[in-house]
Chain A
Amino acid sequence: MQADYTLKVLDLKKHYGDVHAVDGVSFDVQTGEVFTMLGPNGAGKTTTLEILEGIRVPDSGELVLFGDVMSRVSRAAKQRMGVLLQDGGFEPHLKVKEIIQLFASFFSSSRPISEVLDLVALTEKAGAQVRNLSGGQKQRMAVGVALVNDPDLIFLDEPTTGLDPQARRNLWDVIERLKADGKTLILTTHYMEEAEELSDAICIMDHGKIIASGSPHDLTASLGHETLIEFRWDDPPNDAVRVLDACCEQVRLEGERVTMETSMLPKTMAQLLQWSEETAVPLRDLRVRQPNLEDVFLSMTGRTLRE
Chain B
Amino acid sequence: MKGIFALARAHVIAGIREKDTLFWFLVFPLFLLTILTLIFGRLGQDPEIHFTIALIDREAASSDAAFSPSAIVRELFSSLTLSETPGERPLFSLRTPASTDALDAFQEKEIEQLRRGNRAAVLVIPPGFDRNVLQSLQAGGQSPQPSVEAGLQLYMSQTSVASETAAAIIEQILAGLDRNLLAQMGLYDEAASIDVVTEWTQQEQADSEVPYVNYVLPSIVLMGFFTTGLFGVPGTILYNREGKVLRQYWVTPLSVRQYLLGFGVGHVIFCAIQFALVLLLGRLAFGATLQFSSWHTVLLLILASATFLAFGFLITSFARSANGGMAIANILNMPMMFLSGMFFPIVGLPIFLMILVYANPVTYVLEALRQSVGIQAGTLMPWPWPVLVPLLWILVCSAVAVRRLRWDVGS
Give me the interface of A with B, judged by CB distance under 8 Å.
53-56, 75-76, 78-79, 81, 83, 85, 87-94, 98, 101-103, 105-108, 129, 142, 145, 149, 155
Contacts and interface: CB of A to CB of B under 8 A. Distances in A.
Interface residues of B, number: 25
A106 B248 CA distance: 11
B10 interface: yes
Given A53-B251, A83-B251, A94 B14 contact: yes
A81 B254 CA distance: 12
A90 B243 CA distance: 8
Interface stretch (B1-9, B125-133, B273-281, B367-375): B1-9
B408 A89 contact: no
B46 interface: no
B159 interface: no
Contacts of B17: 93-94, 129
Contacts, number: 76
B18 A93 contact: yes
Given A56-B411, A98-B13, A102-B10, A89 B250 contact: no
B6 A91 contact: no
Given A101-B6, A129-B17, A90 B248 contact: yes
A55 B243 contact: no
A102 B2 CA distance: 9
Nearest to A73: B251
Given A79-B253, A129-B17, A88 B247 contact: yes
A142 B253 CA distance: 17
Contacts of A108: 253
Contacts of A88: 244-245, 247-248
9 contacts: A56-B411, A88-B245, A89-B240, A89-B243, A91-B245, A94-B17, A98-B13, A105-B3, A149-B252
Overall SS of chain A's interface: loop
B252 A107 contact: yes
A85 B252 contact: no
B3 A106 contact: yes
Given A56-B411, A93-B18, A105 B247 contact: no
A78 B255 CA distance: 11
Contacts of A89: 240, 243-245, 247-248
A186 to B, nearest CB: 12
B343 interface: no
A109 to B, nearest CB: 11
Nearest to A87: B244
Contacts of B248: 85, 88-90, 103, 142, 145
Interface-central residue, A55, A81, A101, A129, by most chain B CB under 10 Å: A55
A106 B250 contact: no
A91 B14 contact: yes
Interface in B218-259: 240, 243-245, 247-255
Given A91-B245, A102-B6, A78 B251 contact: yes
A55 B251 contact: yes
A43 B250 CA distance: 23
Contact of B247 (A85, A98, A103): A85
A85 B6 contact: no
A176 to B, nearest CB: 23
